[in-house]
């Protein structure tokens, strides 16, 4: 005869069944959220310091030496590194991250990172930027949204609290706008503006060649070159559009355009519509 052991749930002496439940891990922060927080932190540190340095430079004038300026710039960046390190470790958060509701934690999301790790992570910002900002781009492809400086610190960035749907979309929209502006600024800083200005000069030179073709057409028809632009415009076939093209490509101020003719030689001089008002010219013979 077998004996069946049963637990009497009415008996206080019955053994308790213990269950363990792992705490839910915090979700990773969106890239746009991180970018908004970084811009806020950058602004509260760099904008006041840049203003102070500008005032010092104005007051010092020519007496300010190069090494002093370099020292101030290095000091400004060291302050930013310390700010990021101190307020990214041991459960603290920077102002920007606090406003957005995100924090830096260990890569397994088990606890905050230590100060040495936070310091390495803050230095990693500059490494990410030095690689033509490729270190930040890494966050777009990593499954845990880690940038290069997160690998330096052995960290990830997580959301601290739940947010309403409208709040999420507002933060993401602001982040997207700031990101577009940031990329646009980089494009301008690293040659985008220079490329466009050079293109304006090239367009002006190309347009002078079109005018030169009209000069050749005028000579074939009338037997001589002319310095009268109006006659050339009439030969274009579409005078109205040709005038629009002139205003679009060439500066139209007084003395900015002229045609000089001497016997079989003519020279067309104009000014491009770039920021430097670059002079351009075309001569049929050298």
Convert the pLDDT of each residue in 198-253 to its tens digit.
888 999 999 999 999 999 999 999 999 999 989 999 888 888 999 898 888 998 87
Alpha-carbon gap, residue 9 to 102, rounded angstroms: 45
Region 269-281: mean pLDDT is: 90
Find all residues with CB under 8 Å of 172, minimum gap 6, and list them: 30, 32, 33
Average predicted confidence (pLDDT) for the chain: 85
Per-residue pLDDT tens over the stretch 56-113 = 888 887 788 889 889 999 999 999 999 999 999 999 999 989 988 999 999 999 899 9
Arithmetic mean of pLDDT, 118-128: 95
Q: Tally the C-alpha atoms within 13 A of residue 7's C-alpha that lie toward its C-beta.
A: 7
Q: Are 282 and 268 in contact (CB under 8 A)?
A: yes
106, β-bridge pairs: 155
C-alpha–C-alpha distance, residues 81 and 104, integer Å: 15
The pLDDT score that the predictor gives to residue 195 is 72
pLDDT at 169: 83
State the sign of the Cα–Cα–Cα–Cα dihedral 90, 94, 97, 100: positive
**Tokens coding 92:** 């603290």
Cα(93)–Cα(76) distance, rounded to whole angstroms? 20
Please report the pLDDT score of residue 10 as a whole number: 44
The whole-number average pLDDT for the span 114-136 is 93
Q: Is 98 exposed, middle or buried (0-12, 13-18, 19+ CB in 10 A)?
A: middle
pLDDT tops 60 at residue 16: no
């Amino acid at each position: 005869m077998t004996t069946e052991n049963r637990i009497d749930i009415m008996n206080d002496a019955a053994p308790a069944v213990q269950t363990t439940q792992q705490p839910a891990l915090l979700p990773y922060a969106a890239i746009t959220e991180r970018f908004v927080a970084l811009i806020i932190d950058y602004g509260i540190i760099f904008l006041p310091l840049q203003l102070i340095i500008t005032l010092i430079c104005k007051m010092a004038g020519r007496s300010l030496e190069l090494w002093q300026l370099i020292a101030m710039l290095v000091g400004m960046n060291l302050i930013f590194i310390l700010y990021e390190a101190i307020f990214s470790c041991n459960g603290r958060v920077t102002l920007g991250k606090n406003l957005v509701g995100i924090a830096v934690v260990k890569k397994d999301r088990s606890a905050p990172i230590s100060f040495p790790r936070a310091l390495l992570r803050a230095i990693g910002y500059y490494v990410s930027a030095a690689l033509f900002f490729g270190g930040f781009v890494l966050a777009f492809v990593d499954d845990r949204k880690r940038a290069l400086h997160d690998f330096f610190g052995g960290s990830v960035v997580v959301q601290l609290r739940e947010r309403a749907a409208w709040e999420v979309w507002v933060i993401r929209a602001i982040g997207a706008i700031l990101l577009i502006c940031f990329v646009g600024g980089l494009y301008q800083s690293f040659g985008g503006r220079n490329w466009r200005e050079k293109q304006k000069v090239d367009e002006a030179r190309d347009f002078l060649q079109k005018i030169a073709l009209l000069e050749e057409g005028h000579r074939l028809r009338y037997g001589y070159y002319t310095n009268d632009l109006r006659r050339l415009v009439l030969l274009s076939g579409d005078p109205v559009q040709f005038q629009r093209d002139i205003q679009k490509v060439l500066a139209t101020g007084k003395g900015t355009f002229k045609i000089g003719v001497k016997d079989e030689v003519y020279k067309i001089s104009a000014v491009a519509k770039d920021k430097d008002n670059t002079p351009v010219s075309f001569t049929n013979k050298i």
